[in-house]
Amino acid sequence: MSSQPVSRRLSDAPTCAPTAKIHESHLGVWTEIGDRCVFNHVTLGDYSYVERDCDLMFTEVGKFTSIASSVRINPSNHPWWRPTLHHFSYRPGKFGFVDSDQGVDDRIFAWRSEDRVVVGHDVWIGHGALVLPGVTIGNGAIVGAGSVVTKDVAPYTIVVGNPARPLRPRFEDPDTVARLEALAWWDWPHARLARMLPLFQGDTGVFLETAERESHRSS
C-alpha cells in the first residue's frame, strides 16, 4: 500500500484556498492556489500551481509551472530617482497630505505594471525564492530554493544562489532542449496529455521520439 496521500482532484475551475487573496488576476484551468497566497494582476497558465504563502504581482506565469511555498515574485520597486523612497510621495492621501484617502500618483503604479515578470511553461521555482521586477524565466527552467533572481534565466537552465547564477542545464544535449521547445507539449489538449501520460513518466528521449513521430503523422 502506498504511503503517499491522495491529492484532491482539480477541475476546469481554478481551486483557490479560502485564505488566498486574488485581485485583478486570471487563473487557467486545472490551476491550484495555496493558503495565504496574494495575487495582484497575475495571469496563471493552465495546470500551474502555487503553494502556500506566495506573493505575486504583475506577473505572467505559463502552463504546467510549479511554484513552491513562500515564493515572492515581482516585489514593488520604490521610486529611487525621487528625493524620497517613501510611499508618501505616491500615496499622499494615506498620510494626510491631501484631502482624499484615495489620492495616489498613478505614474508610479503605471511604472510598476510595465516592469512585469514573465515565467515560462514547465518552470519549477523552489521554496523561498525571490524573483525581482522585469525578469523573464524561460521554459523548463529551475530556480533553486532561496535563490534571488535578478537577471533573465535561459530556458531549461538550473539557477541557484544570491544572486542566482547558472548551475547547469537540465539536459546536457542542446538538441533535447530545442526539440522540447519545438514540440511545445504544454499546448496539447487535455485528451492528448492523458493519452501520453505513460511517456511523460519515462525517458525524455523516448518521449520526444514518439511525440515527434505522432506530430509528423498528423501534420
Residues with a known catalytic role: 78
Contact (Cβ atoms closer than 8 angstroms) between residue 145 and residue 128: yes
Cα of first residue to Cα of last residue in the chain, in angstroms, is: 44
CA distances from 158 to 16, 120, 191 (A): 29, 14, 30
Cα 135 from Cα 73, distance rounded (Å): 9
User: Comparing C-alpha atoms, which of 116, 126, 148 is closest to residue 43?
Assistant: 116
Contact predicate 44/27, CB 8 Å: yes
What does DSSP assign to residue 7? P
- Which residues lie closer than 8 Å to 75 by C-beta, 6 or more apart? 55, 57, 130, 132, 133
Residue 134's contacts (CB-CB under 8 Å, 6 or more residues apart) are 115, 116, 117
Length of the chain: 219
**Cell 508610479 belongs to which residue?**
108
